[in-house]
Structures are given as structure tokens and as C-alpha cells.
Amino acid sequence: LFIILVFTSATLSLSSDGLPNFSIQEKEARTQFTRGFSYFNNSQYSSARENFLKALSIKNDFTLARLLLSNSYYLSGDWPESMSELEQIEDTIGLNQIQKARLDALRINLAGGSQDLTVRYYSAILGDELRRFRFRNPSDVAVDDDGFLYVLSFDTANIVKI
């Protein structure tokens, strides 16, 4: 009984690295992922992208590889592809707050959020569009030179930088 318990705990500890379970045919996806992760940590983002794409071609639901692929795209300056990968993750399992903030920032920057445009007036700002904040009766909105959006709302008595 003791031997079975030790064997079971050893088996569970081997799969506690946060990676999904791989079938025998999908072991190559894990190999490609670890290579890509090594390249990513060495700031070789183009090589990392190639390996993450190979891992995703073998195992399409490999979310961690897709997230690191998005980060590789982002860090190498390919923002539209990074946004596309984040949107795929959002559709399948959802994003945490940091990932949502990056996706929202990419959407604003790619839509031209820092360009000089004419003044616009809003009657409402919906939380689904801007980092999931809701503003009742917004009284003022400003965009700075870096593209950050500031919203003043009297009902919530605060200024929020988006």
C-alpha cells in the first residue's frame, strides 16, 4: 500500500508543471513548446514564434503556447497578430485582468487612439468597450500624448486612467 501511495504521488508531481496532458502523438508539441520557451527567455522572439506555431499545429488547444505566441508577437512589434492570438484565447477560456488590459490597449493603439482627432462628445461610456469599467454620466474625457484615456465621472467620484 505504501509503495502504491509513493508511486501515485510521484506521478502527480511529474505532471504539476502547468502543461496539459499530452498523448503519445502530441509529445512533439511539448518539445516544440519547451524549445520556444527557451528562445523566448533568450529574447529570440522570431525563433520562439516558429516553435510555438509548430506546437499549436500539433495541439491546437495548447493555451499556454498560444499566450506565449501572443507575447512573442507583441515583443517583436507585430501587434495585430498579438491581438488576434489574445482574442482567440478570450473566446476559448477567457483572459485574466492583465491580459484583458493588454488586449484593450492593443485595440486602442491599433485603432489610432493617440491620433489627433476632432473633439467627440459621449453620453455614455460602456464598460465592455474600455477595460470593463462602467461610467455613469461621464463628465469629461481626455487623451494624453501617450494615448492613455482619462475619464472623469461625478457619480463614481473618481478619475480612471485607461
Q: Do the bridges between strand 149-153 and strand 138-143 make them parallel or antiparallel, or are there none, so unpaired?
A: antiparallel
Mean pLDDT of the chain: 74
d(CA 71, CA 73): 5
Low-confidence ranges of the chain (pLDDT < 70): 1-22, 112-141, 147, 151-162
| pLDDT for the residue 71 | 92
Separate counts of helices (H) and strands (E) for the chain: 6, 3
The domain 24-110: what is its CATH number?
1.25.40.10
Would you say 159 and 152 are in contact if contact means Cβ atoms under 8 Å apart? yes
d(CA 154, CA 136): 8
Question: Domain boundaries in the chain?
Answer: 24-110, 127-162
Q: What is the pTM of this model?
A: 0.58
Q: Which of 51, 78, 77 is nearest to 66 (CA)?
A: 51
| pLDDT for the residue 60 | 87
